[in-house]
Every structure is written in structure tokens, then in C-alpha cells.
A and B are shown apart, each in its own frame.
Chain A
Amino acid sequence: MLEPIIRVNNIKVVYNEGKANEYYALRGESLEIYPKEYIILFGPSGCGKSTLLYSLLGILPPSSGEILVKGENPYKYNVKKMVQFQRSTVGIIFQSFNLIPSLSVMDNVALPLIFADVPRRERDVRSMKLLKQFGVDQQAYKRSTDLSGGQQQRVAVARSLINDPEILFADEPVGNLDSVSSDQVMGMLEEINIKQQKTVILVTHDAKLLPYAHRVYHMKDGGVEREVINPEKKQIKQTDPGTSILSEIEKLARIYPYASPEELRVKSIVNFLTQDIGFDQIEKLERTVGQFIDGKLTNEGFVDRLMRRVEEGGPEIPKNNAAVFEEKLNIVLKEAREIRSYRDNFTAKVASPRQAERIAGVREDVLRECGIALPPEHIARMDELLKFRIRGFIQSEDFRRRLEAPYENDGMGIPAETARNATWYLEKLIGQGMYL
């Protein structure tokens, strides 16, 4: 049986204990982290995730309970052993990088070795190797403040690894980075976890990062709300067969990381009631549609991809439906473009005969989609209504009421349900057009 590298037994962290502003940052936490695992402590600010991280780092003694790292309680260490623990067992990177601005990049990386009395030559060789590994060796002799955020964080990662620790802590490591740097740093951490086989414990409130972890502890109000296993990663933590089962709720938790288990259950039921396909398929369908909208797939490729089986990464849409999807999507995109052009011309005050044609096109599409047949004398008013809505003169609610209202009262006299469908469809077209 694999022994956990970190075992947390019912720890409580209380700030200002016994005072009026007493505050429980952690209220009796227990968890186990196994060697080579990638763990994310996830939750909103104030949930106690950073408190837990700093407790594990050995700088925040719990008020009660016990932390065991490699079977030992670091808070029972004397000063010397504690320094040794922080030097060689754990490494940390911070949200704000925390490099020492007055030192060169090289010296920043080598700083832990300076405190460990390692001779200069050896230090330089080791830090240069790491800088090279993380692609910042060109910056070795610059001051850390002259680097970009992404570079600084890469230097910080190098610093955290210089003593070759077994456990790497990361406190919101990409919270201050742009998406490109963020991806780079997350990639580095993944590599450190997989290739260098280090245990990585990352604290974040950003749900985008959750797929990197083996397991995610969702935290809230000073406690672990639930543990979510990432079904896409081969698990290191061994569980006896039958003790836990990976259900749809776990998969849903990954898609909706901020939702509580109750909300996830509701989502699951509503999905069952209203949709023909499951969340798995929806996710894949979304990906496929995204690629098509981006122009990465041809019409044929799109249909083909829609029909692909789930195991092959497709949404497994039946052939007939796939063709319908393709047709509808193309129409929606075309009308969305028309609406966009109409609005662009309208706001730029360009008068063009094409404007009336665009409205007519949208009208025909809406009527066809909703199965509405209008007497020819009503068409002018319908166009007028569409123009008002697309220009933004009336709200979608007004539009629907006008569709429902009798023709004598300035309305279109369309039955309520049909009017709602037509409004719903038109709103989709406008929404697509606005963000084209």
C-alpha cells in the first residue's frame, strides 16, 4: 500500500485565538497527498487554501491537529531541522514571484544554495542548468526586475527546484501572468510533476487550471468541501475497488467547478429532462462547434467530426442530426453576419439598399425557422419590428409582445408560443452577430 507523503489530520488554524476577532481559517481539515501527485487546493479567496499551504510549508503552526510530511511532524523539528526541511524537502513559488530585486537572476536561483554554504562554482553550474531548462538562461546576469512576469516566475520555479525538493508548493503561481506566460508556467509545473516526479501542490481560485491536477480539493469556508478526482489522469492514489465510484457528478464538477454538489445534481437532472445528449457529448460538441466557427473545419469535416464516437473525442451525433446541425449552423452564421453588417452600416450612418435586403433575409429565416406564414400585407410591419429590435430601439420583451399583439393594435397577431420561439431565435442571431 502506497504511503502518503503528506498526511493532514484534523488540523485547525485559528487566528487571534481567544480575542473578539477570533477567526477560524481552517476548521478541522484532513487529507492525504501521495508521492508524485499533482494536487490542487481550489476555492474562493478566504477559503483557507493558502493557510493550508503555508501550514504544510512549515511556517504556520496549526492550532490543533497534526501534519505529517514523510511521516514526520515538521513542527516538532528544532530550528536546524526545520531549516533543513525547508531547504531540501519542500520548495515554493509565489503569486508575486518574490525574487530578490537587488540580486541577479543567477544569484536569485542560487540563493538557497548560498544559505546552504555551497561553493560558488557548483552553485553557478547548478543554477545555470535550471535556467537553461526553463529557457531563461539568456537573462542569467540581468537584474530580476528587468524580466517580464512570465520570465520572473520561471526563475522562481528554477529557484524552488535548486535544492531538488520532493514537494513543490505553488501559491497562485499564474495569478499575475498573462495567458501565454500562464500556459508556459503551468506546462513547466506539469513537466516537473511528470518528468521529475515531484509532488506538486498548487493553490488557485482559477478553474481553468483544474485539468492539470490528479485530484482537486474544493475548499470553502475553512474546510474541504469535496475531493474531485480528475478522470482524465491516471490516478496515483489507490482506492479499494468499490470504495469510491466516479459518477457523472464528478465529471460535471470539472465543467462547473464553482457549483456545489446540490447544484450539480440539479444540472444533471435538468440535462436529462431537456436534452438528448449527456454532458460528455455536450462538451465535445462545444469543442467541435468552436472549431467550425473558427473556420478550422469544412462543412464536410464538421459533419464527419459530429458523428465521431465519444471514445475518439467526438460528440457521437447521429448522421441525420449531424446534417441538420450543419445546415442550421450555417444559416445562423450567415444571418448573424447579415445582422452584424446591418448594425455596422446603421451605426456608421451609411444608407444602402442592401440594408432592406438584409432585414428581409433575416425575416425570411425567422419565419421559416418558426413555421410562420404571414399575409403579404403584414410583412412591412414585421420588417419594421425587426429593424427596431436589431437597431436596439426595443427590448426583446417588447418585440415578443408586439408579435403577440393583435394586428389592429400595432401587433402581428402571432400565437404566444410561436412568438416566443421567434423571439428566442432572433435573439440568438443577434447575440451571434454582436460577438462575431
Chain B
Amino acid sequence: MRIGDALKLSTRMFKTNPARTWLTILGMGVGTAAVVMLVGLGFGLQNILLEKIVFGDTLLSLTVTPPTTSAVTLDDKAVAAFKKLPNVLDVSPLADFQSLITYNGLSANTDLQGIQASYFKYAGIQMAAGSAFTDAPADSSDIILSSAALQLFGVSNPKDIIGKPVSFRVVAPSTGAQGGADQVPLNGNFTVTGVTNDTASIYAMIPLSTLSSQVGVTEYEKAQVRVDASQNLNAVQKALVEAGYVVSALSKTVDQANQIFTGVQWVLAGFGGIALVVSAIGMFNTMTVTLLERTGEIGVMRTIGASPRDIQFLFLAEAVVVGFLGGMTGMGMGIIGGLAINYILNLVATHFGGAAVALFAFPATFLGFITFFSAIVGFVTGIFPARRASSISPLEAIRYK
């Protein structure tokens, strides 16, 4: 039998029994919609977490810190050594000093971090307002504050502080023989040009060159080591660990997060799957009834030259069509449902001052899989009725009333 003919013969139920057919499709649709929506929620949550941190440079960077109890230090020599390691493209260190920041007559304690512009990329720092500085001399007195630091001055809108002057006093190790610490004022007219979206830690960032020109930078707090390709991450990390440093990789964290979310998605899919199984049983039931209804027809077809395979094929085709259309309907319902829920939640969230998020995500590969999978579910559901239809004796079928 030709595919076109099979399709024509196996879509007759839309003419003969449209209500039942569409209800069956709707049943499959609801099951599929449950899967699509729940898994879509899983994807959405995963995205919300990962889209903040997942950048190419960030994922390919290793964060290196000196061990707390060892003689190994992270200084310019070490940074130079890192740069010579195979597969390392760049190293971007961070110098950290305790400091006193003064804005608008108010002073507060903060970390002052001296960095090169590349550090923003490697550490995956994102701006809530303004922009990051570059290594150019023109940006030498630019200051970046964290969102958390704004709280110190009671500034709620990050944009309000852009372009405002701030001044610093750095707590540096004393140069005197007796040790201790001196408070050294930093010279220069510093202006806030950007605010990061970090609401957890209080810090200010300043170009490393500006900092080191006024304060003696002997050791770094940490350094970002940019590796050329992801497959070399482990080798570089191993080399660094062997040199005595503590290394953490964001990519590992992302991997773990992804693993957890895969688990979450499977659990969600499992819940949706229960609905789908119920729908599939309903569809199976309908197919069985259809089989009884068509028994006479099967007998006639068998006596006029249809082989048992033809009959089996027709039933399977019908099941696949219903399953596939169920999948399509379910996909539509799931996506629309998800987006609707998202829209309502966002309305509520923004009303109470929260940020709008995309709680649901439907990747194309996932939707493609659902399309395929729904047809498979239809196929599986159709196997038994199709087998029975093809094995029924033509004589009994003709005489069946």
C-alpha cells in the first residue's frame, strides 16, 4: 500500500467519527501538555540560573587562589608562571585591599579590588547599570561598585550614582618596621561609572594600574586563568593544583547545576508522564472500540485483497496519526499554558516590585523530541489493536455484527 493511500484510509475517522477522534486527540494532547509544561518549567528554571553565569570566557576560566596555610603566594612571578603554562591564554589577577569609601559625605568599609578589564569577562561580572572600565588611561579613575555597596549609602536605583564622585582611604600594610597598618588616602578624582548586579558582597573595583601606582601590590587575592579550550581545563587545573594553588572552575559548577536540573526535569517529566500514560490508556481503549466497530470492514477488506499486513499497517497508521496530532495539540496547549502562567506570575511579581523572569523555556530540540515521542506513543498504543485486527479471521469478521 502506498503511503498516501494509507494516510487517506487511516484518517477516515475524522469523517466517520469526528467527535470521538478529536476527543481522543485532546486526551493525548492534555497528557502531552502536562509533560511539555512541566519539563518547560524545568528548562526555564535552569535558564534563569545559568543565563547569569554562563559565558564562554567565564566557563573557560579557572579561579586560582593561594592556599591559606602555605608558603605559596600569588604574586607577579606566579602570574607570569601561569601565563607560561601550556594552553593558558591569559591570566587576570585581582588585588584586594580593605578600604574606606566616602560618598556624599558618608564613609563605609569596603573591599577595594584592583583588576584589569579582562577580569570582568573571565569572572562573568555583569553590570546592573553603567559600564565596565577598560585598560585605557582615560578610564584610570573609573570606579565600579557592587549593588550591595550602594545599600551603604541608601541608593536604591543604581543609575542615580553613575557619574558621582567617590574617594577612598586604603588600609595598606604599614611600611614601617613595627608592622601594623596605615590608612593611605588614594589620590585622584574617582567617578562611579558602573554598578555590578552583585547584591551579596560589598566591593568597589578600580583599575589595577591605578591601584598599584599608589599602593604597593605584592600579592594577589586571586587570579582568573583563561584556558584556550574546554577539553584542556582539567590539564591546566591539574598543573595549578600541583603547583600548590586552590583552583575552582565555574564550568564544574555549571555541570553540576545542569546535572541537578536534568534530574529535576526527569522528575517533572515523570509527573507529566503519568498524565500521558493515562491518556495513552484512553487512546488504547478507543482503538480497541474502533477495532470492534471496524470488524466487518476488516473482513470485507481481507476478502477483496488486503493482506494482514495491510490491515495492521492501517491501524498503526491511524494510531500514529492520532498520537502525532495529540502531540502537536499538547505542545500547543503546553506552550500557551506555560506562557500564560508565566505572564500572570510576572504581572504579580512586577506589581510587588520583583523582576520579570522567563519561568518556562521550550528548547527546539525538546519540542522536536516531543513530536517524535508522541508519534511513538501512538505507535505503541496501536500495536496491540493492529495485531488483533490483522489476525482476525476474515470469515468471522464478515459475520461479526
Name A residues whose Cβ lies closer than 8 Å to a Cβ of B: 54, 57, 59-60, 79-80, 83, 86-88, 91-92, 94, 98, 100-103, 107, 111-112, 114-117, 119-120, 159-160, 163
Contacts and interface: CB of A to CB of B under 8 A. Distances in A.
23 contacts: A57-B303, A59-B303, A59-B395, A59-B398, A79-B308, A83-B306, A86-B304, A98-B296, A98-B398, A101-B16, A102-B15, A103-B9, A111-B301, A114-B9, A115-B304, A115-B305, A115-B306, A115-B307, A117-B1, A120-B4, A159-B304, A160-B304, A163-B305
Nearest first, the 7 closest Cβ-Cβ pairs linking A and B are A87-B305, A102-B12, A59-B394, A83-B307, A112-B305, A98-B300, A59-B395
Interface in B287-343: 296-297, 300-308, 310
A91 B300 CA distance: 11
* Residue from B8, B16, B304, B395 whose CB has the most chain A CB atoms within 10 Å: B304
A205 B79 CA distance: 107
Contacts of A160: 304
A15 B16 CA distance: 35
Given A54-B395, A98-B300, 19 more contacts: A59-B393, A59-B394, A59-B395, A60-B395, A80-B307, A83-B305, A86-B302, A86-B303, A87-B305, A91-B304, A92-B304, A101-B16, A107-B8, A112-B305, A114-B9, A116-B305, A117-B2, A120-B4, A160-B304
Contacts of B297: 100
Contacts of A120: 4-5
A79 B1 contact: no
Nearest to A163: B305
Interface residues of B, number: 25
A159 B305 CA distance: 11
Contact of A59 (B4, B8, B15, B302): B302
Contacts of B12: 102-103
B295 to A, nearest CB: 12
A77 to B, nearest CB: 12
* Residue from B4, B9, B15, B16 whose CB has the most chain A CB atoms within 10 Å: B9
Interface of B: 1-2, 4-5, 8-9, 12, 15-16, 296-297, 300-308, 310, 393-395, 398
Contacts of A116: 305
* Residue from A87, A92, A102 whose CB has the most chain B CB atoms within 10 Å: A102
A320 B305 CA distance: 64
A54 B2 CA distance: 29
Contacts of A102: 12, 15-16
Contacts, number: 64
Contacts of B301: 100, 111, 115
Contacts of B310: 115
A94 B15 CA distance: 25
B316 to A, nearest CB: 16
Contacts of A86: 302-305
B364 to A, nearest CB: 36
B300 A100 contact: yes
B303 A92 contact: yes
B303 A111 contact: no
A115 B398 contact: no
A98 B296 CA distance: 8
A109 to B, nearest CB: 10
Contacts of B4: 120
A94 B398 contact: yes
Contacts of A87: 304-305
Contacts of A92: 303-304
B1 A114 contact: yes
B304 A79 contact: no
Nearest to B303: A92
A47 to B, nearest CB: 17
B174 to A, nearest CB: 96
* Residue from B16, B300, B310, B394 whose CB has the most chain A CB atoms within 10 Å: B300
Nearest to B4: A120
Contacts of A163: 305
A98 B295 CA distance: 12
Nearest to B307: A83
A243 to B, nearest CB: 36
Contacts of B308: 79
B1 A115 contact: yes
Nearest to B11: A102
Contacts of B395: 54, 59-60
A60 B307 CA distance: 16
A374 B305 CA distance: 79
B266 to A, nearest CB: 42
A87 B398 CA distance: 17
Contacts of B393: 59
A340 B127 CA distance: 115
Contacts of B394: 59
A111 B9 CA distance: 10
A159 B15 CA distance: 22
A101 B12 CA distance: 10
B236 to A, nearest CB: 63
A54 B16 CA distance: 29
* Residue from B5, B9, B15, B297 whose CB has the most chain A CB atoms within 10 Å: B5
